[in-house]
Amino acid sequence: MISDWTPEDRQNLRNKVPMTGLRTPFQGRMLLHVAEDVLKWAKDGLDRRCLNESVFLDPLKEVVTTGSTPADKLLKMYNNKWRNNIDPVFRECCY
């Protein structure tokens, strides 16, 4: 999968992904589609182990299916619900 990625490709991902996430263009498609491939391969590999471990991929599946990362959700709350105030993150996102 990555054998044809050049050092420039990898550096480009390092530079752009923090800002554009899964919407980063990469080798003629979006990084989201690379994530879909990786998730499928991971699920197939875990399913072959017959230990029902693929359930642990569900949070990643949600991200790939919706295209919305946890960071995207936080930014949306920051810009809307929290009205550009970071303080609520400490109340609403504590564990």
**C-alpha dist (Å) from residue 13 to 18, 20, 30, 61, 64:** 8, 10, 11, 21, 17
Q: Is residue 33 part of a domain?
A: yes
Residues in contact with 34: Cβ distance below 8 Å, sequence separation at least 6, in sequence order:
1, 26
pLDDT tens per residue across span 47-90: 999 999 999 999 999 999 999 999 999 999 999 999 999 999 99
81's CB contacts (< 8 A; 6+ apart) are 88
Q: Quick check: helix, strand or coil at residue 29?
A: strand
How many folded domains does the chain comprise? Answer: 1
Beta bridge partners of 26: 29
Residues spanned by the domain of 29: 7-92
Does the pLDDT of residue 94 top 90, yes or no? no
* The pLDDT value given to residue 1: 85
Residue 87, in any domain of the structure: yes
Q: Is residue 58 part of a domain?
A: yes
Residue 95: what pLDDT?
Answer: 79
> Does pLDDT of 34 surpass 90?
yes
In a domain, 1, yes or no: no
